[in-house]
Structure 1
Amino acid sequence: MDKIQDEIIGEFSVFDDWLDKYDYLIELSDALPPIDAAHRTDRYLINGCQSRVWIDARLEGGKVYYTADSDAIITKGIIALLIRVLNGRTPQEILATDLYFIDAIGLKENLSPTRSNGLLAMLNQMRLYALAFEKESEMKR
């Protein structure tokens, strides 16, 4: 995961100002695979986000895979970054990782307070999925 986070830091380091970084986030939103329409419901909606964000996760082969969508393109770019780092990891890896790229690229400090709260809400939901999968696996043992 550190390698991917370092790649993201490198990608954002080529931009001098935050308008360019926002443009890059918008580009990243285009690369986010679509979420199944069945998961664009209130059940998958993240509370605490200014925009509407839906996140789903599945456990496959002991690893967590996320899908997500948002009606706001910058938020969609942010979730694309989170998925890029966390997808295909074990629940334990997801729960233990320090997502240092968020501070390193200045993301949290350059978001509005409501969007920053949304970032935390998205991350919390992703970790809750990982925690639920971890507990489910423990119960099966």
Structure 2
Amino acid sequence: MTARAQVGPSPVGGGPAVSLTANELIVLQRAAQGETYAAIAHDLGYAEKSVTKMALRLNRKLGASNITHAVFLACQAGLLDGKPRRHGDHAGFAAHQYRGEEPCEACWEGERAYRRDRKATRKAALSDGA
């Protein structure tokens, strides 16, 4: 089974994170490089129909009308620029705010954990110094 990867907020509105499998991400990256489904399938050891179905799932997950649109949306979301987006922690929360988006639930939870840790650290420092 392929491990799922959280790749950041949805490019269609800052909603929940888009969860892509490692193979879906490879198909997206290879399509962005202009490779055909047949070439991608051959390199991955899949049937061309399997890669076509992966591309259709990518379109649905990203809210795209075709693979070219999916690549465009992925580029806008920073999924293909080689810089992984922070997600699910304080930095991910801050990145959402910087981009003017409503933080997703994972990033809210990461921010709450960060604030709890900071508060505990300050409390421990005060009790050690007293």
Task: Name the TM-score, length of structure 1 as normaliser.
Answer: 0.28
TM-score w.r.t. structure 2 length?
A: 0.29
Q: Which structure exhibits the higher relative contact order, with contacts defined as CA atoms closer than 8 Å and separated by 6 or more residues?
A: 1
